[in-house]
Structure 1
Amino acid sequence: MVLKTEKSRIDAVDALRGFAVMAILLVHSLEHFIFPVYPASSPAWLAALDEGVFAVVFALFAGKAYAIFALLFGFTFHLQYASRQSRGEDFGVRFLWRLLLLAGFATLNAAFFPAGDVLLLFSLVGVVLFAVRRLNDRTVLALALLFLVQPVEWYHCFRALADPGFAPPDLGVGAMYGEVAAYTKAGDFWQFVAGNVTLGQKASLLWAVNAGRYSQTAGLFLLGLLLGRRGLFSDSADNARFWVRTLIVGAVAFVPLQALHGLFGEATAARMAATVLDMWQKLAFTAVLAASFVLLYRTARFRRVTDGLRFYGRMSLTNYIAQSVVGALIFFPFGLGLASRCGYALSLVIGVAVFVLQAAFCRWWLRGHQR
């Protein structure tokens, strides 16, 4: 049994978005919401379990969940733009206003999340969607590929090869995060909030520069826009073939990229090349995850198993911010202070429990409210 209605098509997107936000929650739970305090010692069996949990969760979701979230951000822009355009309106200016509001939500979330917030990155990079909204598909695709090539990192790589003394500017991210860790451990709530929305946000934005996130995020936004324009989340044989091809290409590309990623040294050129390959291998695995989810969602059994995700995805912003609040209250010193007692395995259990409670709340809330 496959999907037939427009409503089901939107359900598939909501479920995929819910999957991405759930995965972000699990990664952040293992990271103690960027508060790296863990038990000083554990029994051998528990240490082995913790190591396995960390390896699996990060291999599956780290850097990929955010990418799916970014892809669907571009897709949602298309839906909003097309809806306004059908009424003879230009969504562009209103979208800029929404980006400003998103920066406000990013500040609210960052108050409880000491590493800064990806929503602020989205609000800045989102301007690219405004800029390309009237360009044709071929031009948008060319720009998306240009961003995903990671041109800044390649420039630094080749510059370092030509001049061995060259080094990219030191943005001081490590020192900033050291300050963030210090005031987080101090346990003063108001100092924590004030530091997060200033220093924490600054550190996050500069870390994204080093990680190549600005360029990749822009490329993902544009790919999401194209997915919307081409209607590739609707159910059809042609679209199913597109997602099968995406799955195959992603899987084939991932293997060599993953193998090559760990072969580089510490020289500047090598580090820049390693950053690019890291972004590419995560992008390839993101394609595998997204394509697999879309293809599986065409079956009734998978839809039943993942039914809660579509409610979770419809309230993605609420859930994303609530995760940070709950995580801070569970792990940080001004809350329950459980970070030092929770290894990776127990932290995963906590993350799953938070997801289950949030998903149940979303299902209940949406029975009586449209938003």
Structure 2
Amino acid sequence: MPGPFRTTPARNTAVDTIRLVGLVGICVVNLPFIALPGAAGLVLPDAGLDRLAMLTVETLFQAKFFLLFSFVFGWSFHLQDLAARRAGASPARRHLRRMAALAVIGCLHGILVFPGDILVIYALLGCGLVAVRHLSAPALARLALAMLPLAALCLTVLWVSLPEAAFSQPPAGDALSQRIDEWLSTLGFLLVFQGPLAFGAFCLGLAAGKSGFFAPDHPWQHRLDRALPWLLVIGLPLNLFHAAATGGLLPAEWVFATLAGVWALAPGAPILAAAWLALILRLTRFRPLPEILIAAGRNSLSIYVLQGMLAGLTFCVVGHGSVGQARLLVVALPLAGAAILALAAWAVVAARGPLERLLRRMSGA
């Protein structure tokens, strides 16, 4: 009899690979905000290697892997909708219970582990999927496209307000109150920064589920693969322009050029995320990951939270601010790998991770 970590023929391993790669990318982005004190993760460092590392993360990783994860989230919503219908349950009620449970886990994670938590954002935006679940795939794609100007508007708001807010001192109080205040302010920032693009990715993921995008030899996979060179040619300069604008590399008097660089993320992040998606799908076709790692990818919630816990413990020991951006870029890979391997080991004896079990129980699925 196959062990619990074995995938079934119906299981789409490409999606689990996307989750794993996405988790590594999210760890690369999050680690500076865990390891560095205050708002240091937002400031371009003085050291050359640290500066290059931060620009690399901003160009290649920031907002791209979050969108990949959001795309898969929308796709999984379609599968959960079908599963609820087969079980004779209300898809909307089951999904909303799941989002409420995810929000509870996210609140605890944001307060106790990492204020840059994305789970509450997923829970809030995920409720919106209920309202659009009956739309056709083309209509969902058009809705996703409509999120781009909204994202540009939100980025403009942040560009105007962030210089003041980023370095403001939190109100005095006990440690728990300060952590709650920090989490709430970060949550507000992330909702504005990532919300429109994330919801657009949700819609595209739902459209992918409706159209069978992840089926072997689906024509849209081939189109995406053929578009890869263009995605890179367009996406890389846009994201590099954004990194330069937000990193303070443009002259202060270039106000409109800086604003254009801020806007560049709105189209640039989805374009480069699509390039990453094309590359990951190539990987799954030509060199699939070992089965036990694929099984770990099913437990992405547990891996995500464990990454934050491991990072927090690590820098409580070595000290916040003791490692620069360049070293953090190197440290992120084994740290993410350790969390993935821990859940891979768990998958040998249990099909679902601990938080996946908890989420399932809390949502009544």
For normalisation by structure 1, the TM-score amounts to: 0.77
Query: Residues 308 and 18 from structure 1, CA distance in 2 versus in 1: closer, same or farther, beyond 3 angstroms?
Result: farther
Describe the superposition over 1:47-83 as per-residue Cα deviations: whole angstroms up to 9, x where unpaired: 5444443333443211111111111111111111122
- Amino acid in the other structure paired with 2:320: A
Is 1:195 aligned with 2:178?
Answer: yes
Counterparts of 1:169 and 1:339, CA distance in 2: 27
Match of 2:91 in 1: 91
Amino acid at match of 2:118: V
Offset at residue 87 of structure 1 (A): 3.9
How far residue 151 of structure 1 moved from its aligned partner, in angstroms, is: 2.8
Q: 1:341 to 1:128 in 2, by over 3 A?
A: same
**What residue number does 1:25 align with?**
27
Would the aligned equivalents of 1:257 and 1:277 in 2 still touch at CA under 8 Å? yes
Deviation at 1:320, TM superposition (A): 1.1
Distance in 1, matches of 2:292 and 2:50, equals 27
Contact 1:233 / 1:239 at 8 angstroms: preserved in 2?
Answer: no
- Structure 1 window deviating more from structure 2 (76-85 vs 308-317): it is 308-317
Write the mapping of 1:345-360 to structure 2, written as runs, cut at 5 A: 345-360=326-341
Check if 1:275 corresponds to 2:262. Answer: yes
Match of residue 299 from structure 2: 315
Q: 1:70 and 2:86 equivalent?
A: no
1:1-371 to structure 2, matched below 5 A, reads: 7=9, 10-33=12-35, 35=37, 47-113=47-113, 115-147=115-147, 149-151=148-150, 153-154=152-153, 174-175=164-165, 178-180=168-170, 191-196=174-179, 198-208=180-190, 210-211=192-193, 213-236=194-217, 238-255=219-236, 257-258=238-239, 261=242, 273-299=260-286, 302-304=287-289, 309-331=293-315, 335-371=316-352
- Percent sequence identity is 24
**Could you tell me which residue of structure 1 aligns to residue 359 of structure 2?**
none
Partner of 1:340, secondary structure, is coil
1:12-63 Cα offsets, whole Å, 9 max, x none, are 101110111111112222343563598xxxxx9xx54444433334432111
- Preserved CA contact (<8 Å) 2:106 2:119: yes
Distance between the aligned counterparts of 1:156 and 1:357, measured in 2? 34
CA distance in 2, matches of 1:125, 1:236: 31
Q: CA deviation at 1:291?
A: 1.1
Deviation at 1:155, TM superposition (A): 9.4
Which sections of structure 1, spanning at least 5 residues, go unmatched? Answer: 39-43, 158-166, 184-189
In the other structure, the counterpart of 2:363 is none
Q: In the superposition, relative to structure 1, how do residues 353 and 116 fare at CA in structure 2: closer, same or farther (>3 Å)?
A: closer
Q: Which amino acid aligns with 1:76?
A: S
Structure 2: runs of 5+ lacking an equivalent: 1-6, 41-45, 353-365
Q: 1:349: Cα distance to partner? A: 3.8
2:155–2:263 CA contact under 8 A, matched in 1: no
Report the Cα offset of residue 138 of structure 1.
2.7
1:255-286 Cα shifts (integer Å, max 9, x gaps): 55347645787798766644332221111111
In the TM superposition, what whole-angstrom CA distance separates every residue of 1:145-194 from its partner, at most 9, and x where no partner exists?
Answer: 111x223645997xxxxxxxxx89976785476435x98xxxxxx94443
| CA-based RMSD | 3.4
* 8 Å contact from structure 2 (residues 27, 307) kept in 1: yes
Q: Is the 8 A contact 2:59 2:240 kept in 1?
A: no
AA at the equivalent of 1:98: R
Q: Secondary structure at the match of 2:282?
A: helix
Residue in 2 that maps onto 1:187: none
Cα distance change on mapping 1:254 and 1:345 into 2, 3 Å: closer
Q: Quick check: 2:121–2:187 contact (8 Å CA) kept in 1?
A: yes
Residue pair 1:74, 1:224 contacting (<8 A) in 2 also:
yes
Counterpart Cα distance in 2 of 1:267 and 1:210: 24
Q: 1:153 to 1:322 in 2, by over 3 A?
A: same
Q: How far 1:141 sits from its partner (Å)?
A: 2.0
Distance 2:269 2:262 in 1: 11
* Conservation of the 8 A alpha-carbon contact between 1:246 and 1:287: no
Structure 1 counterpart of 2:169, which letter? E
Count of aligned pairs between the two proteins = 335
> Can you list the C-alpha shifts for 1:90-135, whole angstroms capped at 9, x where unaligned?
3111111111111111112112445442211111111220101122
